[in-house]
Amino acid sequence: DTGVSQDPRHKITKRGQNVTFRCDPISEHNRLYWYRQTLGQGPEFLTYFQNEAQLEKSRLLSDRFSAERPKGSFSTLEIQRTEQGDSAMYLCASSSDGGKDEQYFGPGTRLTVT
Amino acid sequence: AQSVTQLGSHVSVSEGALVLLRCNYSSSVPPYLFWYVQYPNQGLQLLLKYTSAATLVKGINGFEAEFKKSETSFHLTKPSAHMSDAAEYFCAVNLSGGYQKVTFGIGTKLQVIP
């Protein structure tokens, strides 16, 4: 098991463009999470999936953001019409069932919107 | 509702000195508590977790933390700082009972002075 992977690691885009990020969780984990982390802050929860079902979305996830996990394995996070305020590190994590189980984080995708 | 407060966004210690990073939590039900470490441009790595078993929890790299319900605290300590401990540390809380929305503190950046 190679852990949680994310692709790409870095993305530079112009304002108004759409971007899509991918996350591959640890294979036996059925829970997957997306977080956003800006400079000087801790990760902020965006959304979470149990298998293919998206069970919760943060108010931070505006209509321009959409996340999918179509087969309960990898997930994608798409941002439409990017804005400079979207510049951040986007972190993906996965865990097995149970609140006590820690979340395993990927290396993140750093998005820069110019 | 749940939250964590990390006191001190920056902490400096001399190599070999005691490391103490403070975390206080707020939770309406018994919490699960975590400490994560983040090195530059990397994801978060779990140091240790409290899940209502022993109140003194030992983690990796010589770190430990003690859950004190009366003080609603979960401070992270290490007897002797090493240069490789320089990183950012995040305290996080998750409600017990399987609810998976983890809330992170803003982080404490640890500097180790040779």
pLDDT over threshold 90, residue A96:
no
Residues 6+ apart with CB under 8 A from B85: B19, B61, B78, B110, B112
Greater confidence (A52 vs A102) lies with A52
A25 to chain B, any CB pair closer than 8 A? The answer is no
A31 to chain B, any CB pair closer than 8 A? The answer is yes
Contact between B24 and B72 (Cβ < 8 Å): yes
Mean pLDDT of B85-101: 80
> Quick one: pLDDT at residue A58?
86
- pLDDT tens-digit profile of B48-81? 999 877 899 999 999 999 999 999 999 999 999 9
pLDDT over threshold 60, residue A95:
yes
Instruction: Give contacts of B 42-101 with A, CB under 8 A.
Output: 42-46, 49, 51-52, 90, 92, 94-101
